[in-house]
């Protein structure tokens, strides 16, 4: 079972991913919690490179390739082997983020992104994806006090495009992507996560 959480910065992804991880551990499941970009030592090195603020212009195509490169390390060295052993994998962001950010956010053709993404994932898709949707202003308010990385510091309109991108993805794959209203309380959202997973017999 491969479960991903998606959404704009500050929507509450990591909070829900961590709650689910703890819940599954309590239920005696074998489970790992991981994140993108990152998840393995090499991919975390790439994460640091990608997210660090820099003087030089970061070309969108270079950014895309680095995210894809990091995903390759992550899928090959961690996710696939865990799934093969029957371990539940919970991942904070995955391919949908690349389509939303580098596609809808930066303007690279989403279809092209899916094509090169398959080279890194070998076609691996999450069994279920939770998209936590929240107005950009509310999400950014939540992370006001946190130190912003290069992507989090982007202008409001960039995050609006990314949010719309996620919604488009959810519309195109309604069986896989469950949209959650992120304006609700943490506990209420989490109850829905559990309910959806139980309904599908996933946990």
Which residues in this chain contact ligand ADP in the complex, by CB under 6 A? 7, 9-15, 142-143, 185-186, 189
Residue 6, SS3 per DSSP: strand
- Give the residue nearest to ligand ADP (CB): 12
- Phi/psi for 151 (5° steps) reads -80, -40
Tokens of 137: 């202003």
CB of 169 closer than 8 Å to CB of 99: yes
DSSP state for residue 128 in the 8-state scheme: E
161 preceded by cis ω (within 30°)? Answer: no
Query: What's the token pair of residue 58?
Result: 């970061």
At its nearest, how many Å lie between ligand ADP and the CB of residue 123? Answer: 26
β-bridge pairing 31-35 and 2-6? unpaired
- On whether the CB atoms of residues 70 and 49 are closer than 8 A, the answer is no
Cα–Cα distance, 33 to 23 (Å, whole number): 12
User: What CA–CA distance (Å, rounded) separates 3 from 125?
Assistant: 9
If the CB atoms of residues 118 and 135 are measured against ligand ADP, the closer one turns out to be 135
Is the CB of 41 or the CB of 185 nearer to ligand ADP? Answer: 185
Indicate the residue among 10 and 72 with the shorter CB distance to ligand ADP.
10
Q: Which is nearer to ligand ADP, 80 or 143 (CB)?
A: 143
Closest approach of Cβ 33 to ligand ADP, in Å?
12
**Closest separation in Å from C-beta 149 to ligand ADP:** 11
Nearer to ligand ADP, 15 or 115 (CB): 15
CB of 101 to ligand ADP, least distance (A): 13
On whether the CB atoms of residues 196 and 26 are closer than 8 A, the answer is no
Of 30 and 191, the one with the shorter C-beta distance to ligand ADP is: 191
Taking the complex as a whole, the smallest distance from the CB of residue 47 to ligand ADP amounts, in Å, to 14
Q: How far is the CB of 112 from ligand ADP (least distance, A)?
A: 26
């Amino acid at each position: 079972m491969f479960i991903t959480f998606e959404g704009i910065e500050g929507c509450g992804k990591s909070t829900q991913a961590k709650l689910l991880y703890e819940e599954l551990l309590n239920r005696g499941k074998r489970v790992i919690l991981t994140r993108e970009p990152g998840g393995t030592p090499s991919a975390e090195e790439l994460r640091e490179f990608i997210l660090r603020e820099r003087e030089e212009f970061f070309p969108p195509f270079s950014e895309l390739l680095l995210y894809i490169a990091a995903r390759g390390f992550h899928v090959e060295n961690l996710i696939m082997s865990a799934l093969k052993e029957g371990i539940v994998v919970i991942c904070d962001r995955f391919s949908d983020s690349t389509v939303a950010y580098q596609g809808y956010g930066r303007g690279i053709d989403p279809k092209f992104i899916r094509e090169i993404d398959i080279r890194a994932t070998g076609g691996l898709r999450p069994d279920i994806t939770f998209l936590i949707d929240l107005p950009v202003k509310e999400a950014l308010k939540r992370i006001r006090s946190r130190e912003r990385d290069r992507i989090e510091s982007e202008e409001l309109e960039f995050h609006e495009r990314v949010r719309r991108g996620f919604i488009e993805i959810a519309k195109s794959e309604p069986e896989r992507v469950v949209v959650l209203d992120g304006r609700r309380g943490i506990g209420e959202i989490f109850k829905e996560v559990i309910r959806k997973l139980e309904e599908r017999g996933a946990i």
